Amino acid sequence: MTIEDTTRIDPVNPLAHLSDDTIAELAKEFDAIHDEVYASLGAKDRKYITSVIAAQRQLLVAGRVLLLGSTSKPAWVAGTACLGIAKILENMEIGHNVMHGQWDWMNDPEIHSSVWDWDTASTAQSWKHSHNYVHHTYTNIRGKDKDLGYEIMRIDPRQKWHPVYLAQPFYNVLLMAFFEWGVALHDLDIEAIRRGEKPAKDVISDLKGIAVKARKQFVKDYVGWPVISAGAFALAQLASGGRLRESKRSRIATKLRSSTRFGASRKTAAFFDSRFSGIESTFLSTLAANFTANIIRNVWSHGIIFCGHFPDQAYTFSEEEVENETRGGWYVRQLVGAANIDGGPLFHLMSGNLSYQVEHHLYPDMPSTRYSEVAPKIKDICERYQLPYNSGPLMQQWGMVHRTIARLALPGGKIRPKPGPYRPEEAWRRKFSATPSDSEAARSRSRVPAGHPAAGPEHNSGGVDVEPPPRGDD
């Protein structure tokens, strides 16, 4: 399909004003940015990811140690906070990005997409297929991208309305709290199962994988660590000669008293009160801390991911619009199908650098710490080729997302206006430019020739690879 065909389908398509030759040049420029980064990867990048992994593990240990005293409110709050932050770092900046193949170039036997598994309900294999391959190849193509509303929400007016969507503002709240489990079930590809397109053996295999992972997560967070905390309390109480403070009554003892009047049971209840109340309280408070930390991680992940994909600024595409798509067209679709979130270095770290969602979709295998480096070059391309560069503050993006979820729960709805071509603000120009006529992006116009061996977002790795159109097709 030519550009002229595409513009007849949708006049607001961001490719409408670009010729085929221009789109081919765009592809070369986007490839060159990727090649330049990959040619410069080295010790500094390796140190970054190993340092983040070390810091995350130290936070995790600190949280677990603090929760040994989880019956103390300060220890509970501090331990839960450390654990929640550690889980966010592990999921966002480490697990998500390692399994994208961003660090495969190091050939590290442990930090590699083919062997890494993460602290969440999704199995690595299923997630790499549904996310790395399907979502990043067919980004925002209606009917192809399964992440477009996660098959349970209407987030584009062109999606057919169904009465079930009336409840989406409510089940979205549940999805926020239990996001890891929603993603795990989403990886099954429920729609393909419903249509009979997914073989039964694949469904069974995926269900077995989820069951194994679910059991592992449940035992770790809600049995294993609470037992360790309770055991530590028992040992400390024994060593101190019973001097540690503990609750006067056991919940088990209370149940025993309410269930019978026999003297033997009263004696059993008294035994639990005197010997197990502290152990029981420690177990339950650690369990509650682990549950809370998981909710913290889930709500944060949901917010960052939704703000990067579903605000008003993001474009969606029909299958007809991307028919016979060229490499340059694929890049532009990635560019305008995502949105960034403004913030500082700590915010970007805690978001897994998915606050640079535009750069991530252009280069899903590029080490995340390099997204801030290439962002000015992407803005330069957007400025010169009159393309939008979508970005905004967290609360602005978050507000757009939830407004859309609420509005499109009802029938109808209109496509909200999309942003125009990227134009640096005057204040931004004054801050970053040598002269008033220069923009921040214009300072980053150096390019290297395309053709580096480890090139483009389809760079070979141990994970499931994204598949843009090959070079030379533009």
DSSP class per residue in 176-191: HHTHHHHHHHHTT-HH
Residue bearing the bigger pLDDT, 193 or 179? 179
> Which residues, at least 6 apart from 3, have a Cβ–Cβ distance to it below 8 Å?
15, 16, 18, 19, 20, 23
Binned at pLDDT 50, 70 and 90, residue 180 comes out as very high
> Which residues, at least 6 apart from 351, have a Cβ–Cβ distance to it below 8 Å?
92, 93, 304, 341, 343
pLDDT at 463 over 70: no
Total Cβ atoms within 10 A of residue 143: 12
Residue bearing the bigger pLDDT, 19 or 432? 19
The Cα-based distances of 182 to 134, 174, 176, 185, 190 in angstroms read 17, 9, 9, 5, 12
3-state secondary structure of 303: helix
Total Cβ atoms within 10 A of residue 371: 23
Helix boundaries (H) for 128-197 = 136-137, 168-177, 179-186, 190-194
What is the distance, to the nearest Å, from the Cα of residue 2 to the centroid of all Cα atoms in its chain? Answer: 34
Tokens 């790499």 belong to residue: 128
Of 108-112, 274-278, 307-311, the one with minimum mean pLDDT is 274-278
Percent over 70 (pLDDT), the chain: 80
Q: What is the mean pLDDT of residues 388-403?
A: 95
Longest Cα–Cα distance in the chain? 91
For residues 184 and 179, what is the distance between their CA atoms, to the nearest angstrom?
Answer: 9
3-state secondary structure of 67: helix
Which pLDDT score, from 0 to 100, does residue 420 have? 83
Counting Cα atoms < 13 Å in the Cβ hemisphere of 434 gives: 3
At 222, the amino acid letter reads Y
pLDDT tens per residue, range 365-374: 999 999 999 9
Tokens 């992006």 belong to residue: 441
For residues 47 and 43, what is the distance between their CA atoms, to the nearest angstrom?
Answer: 6
Q: What is the mean pLDDT of residues 324-335?
A: 93
pLDDT tens per residue, range 396-423: 999 999 999 999 999 999 988 888 888 8
Helix axes 277-309, 263-275, angle to 10 degrees: 60
Binned at pLDDT 50, 70 and 90, residue 151 comes out as confident
Binned at pLDDT 50, 70 and 90, residue 445 comes out as very low
Q: What is the mean pLDDT of residues 414-436?
A: 65
Phi, psi of 352 (to 5 degrees): 70, 20
Which pLDDT score, from 0 to 100, does residue 241 have? 64
pLDDT at 436 over 50: no
3-state secondary structure of 266: helix
- If we measure between CA atoms, which residue out of 1, 87, 105, 101 comes closest to residue 45? 105
**Token digits for 150?**
């996660």
pLDDT tens per residue, range 347-363: 999 999 999 999 999 99
Q: What is the mean pLDDT of residues 436-452?
A: 42
> Which residues, at least 6 apart from 92, have a Cβ–Cβ distance to it below 8 Å?
300, 301, 304, 350, 351, 352, 354
Domain ranges for the chain, please list them.
Answer: 3-40+116-202+298-444
Tokens 């889930």 belong to residue: 298
Q: What is the mean pLDDT of residues 56-70?
A: 94
Which pLDDT score, from 0 to 100, does residue 8 have? 41
Contact 434, 378 (CB under 8 A): no
- If we measure between CA atoms, which residue out of 31, 42, 25 comes closest to residue 448? 31
Query: DSSP class of residue 119?
Result: S
160-176 as b/e: b if 16+ CB within 10 A: eeeeebeebeeebeebb
Binned at pLDDT 50, 70 and 90, residue 443 comes out as very low
Contact 332, 14 (CB under 8 A): yes
Which pLDDT score, from 0 to 100, does residue 435 have? 46
Binned at pLDDT 50, 70 and 90, residue 269 comes out as very low
Which pLDDT score, from 0 to 100, does residue 417 have? 86
Contact 371, 466 (CB under 8 A): no
Q: What is the mean pLDDT of residues 187-205?
A: 82
3-state secondary structure of 435: coil
pLDDT at 448 over 70: no
Which residues, in sequence order, are bridge partners of residue 392? 341
Q: What is the mean pLDDT of residues 65-74?
A: 90
Residue bearing the bigger pLDDT, 471 or 323? 323
pLDDT tens per residue, range 112-134: 999 999 999 888 888 998 999 99
For residues 426 and 181, what is the distance between their CA atoms, to the nearest angstrom?
Answer: 45
Contact 473, 326 (CB under 8 A): yes
Antiparallel, parallel or unpaired: β 391-392 and 340-341: parallel
pLDDT at 2 over 50: no
Which pLDDT score, from 0 to 100, does residue 274 have? 47
Binned at pLDDT 50, 70 and 90, residue 315 comes out as very high
Counting Cα atoms < 13 Å in the Cβ hemisphere of 97 gives: 30
Whole-prediction pTM = 0.84
Q: What is the mean pLDDT of residues 418-440?
A: 57
Binned at pLDDT 50, 70 and 90, residue 265 comes out as low
Which pLDDT score, from 0 to 100, does residue 294 have? 97
> Which residues, at least 6 apart from 426, have a Cβ–Cβ distance to it below 8 Å?
none
Binned at pLDDT 50, 70 and 90, residue 447 comes out as very low
**Token digits for 363?**
């280069």
Which pLDDT score, from 0 to 100, does residue 282 have? 87
Binned at pLDDT 50, 70 and 90, residue 470 comes out as confident
Phi, psi of 315 (to 5 degrees): -90, 150
Which pLDDT score, from 0 to 100, does residue 431 have? 46
Computed over every residue of the chain, the mean pLDDT equals: 83
46-57 as b/e: b if 16+ CB within 10 A: bebbeebbebbe
Which pLDDT score, from 0 to 100, does residue 430 have? 41
pLDDT at 190 over 90: no
Which pLDDT score, from 0 to 100, does residue 14 have? 74
The Cα-based distances of 131 to 30, 124, 138, 207, 414 in angstroms read 22, 10, 10, 18, 28
